[in-house]
Amino acid sequence: MKHENPYKESMRYIENARATLKLAGREDKYYQDVKYVQTACGTAYLGMLKALDYLFDIKKVPKRRGKKAIEYYQSELSKMDKKLLNHLNDAYHLLHLEGYYGGIKNIKVINEGFEIATLVINALKPYSNNGAE
């Protein structure tokens, strides 16, 4: 999985997810259309996993055959970086479980999930010319 700038590719997912969130509409402390929120959360979560895949390639982590479950990422990060593991777990709960599957529409919760996913993606910056072209 080679890309010219893995950081920018992963951040593209976050940017697309933010654009999708804008379609959800806002009222008070909640997004209005759960479909857009779920789509945005799923996209942001996938961008974070893409970043981890790139990071694992860079760190020469052995690949698994078939689909990778969250346990794969948790297991590998537990050996590599506990702080990143905590971020992964938080983003998994906020974006994947609560946002995508649960359909939570709380703006503060969703934004926190996006921020945490971005922290995980930022781990790629040192390997991606600090995010520059």
CATH number of 6-125: 1.20.120.330
pLDDT at 112 exceeding the cut of 90: yes
Give the pLDDT score at 131: 54
What's the pLDDT at 130? 57
**Secondary structure of 31-83 in HEC code, one letter for each residue:** ECCHHHHHHHHHHHHHHHHHHHHHHHHHCCCCCCCCCCCHHHHHHHHHHHCHH
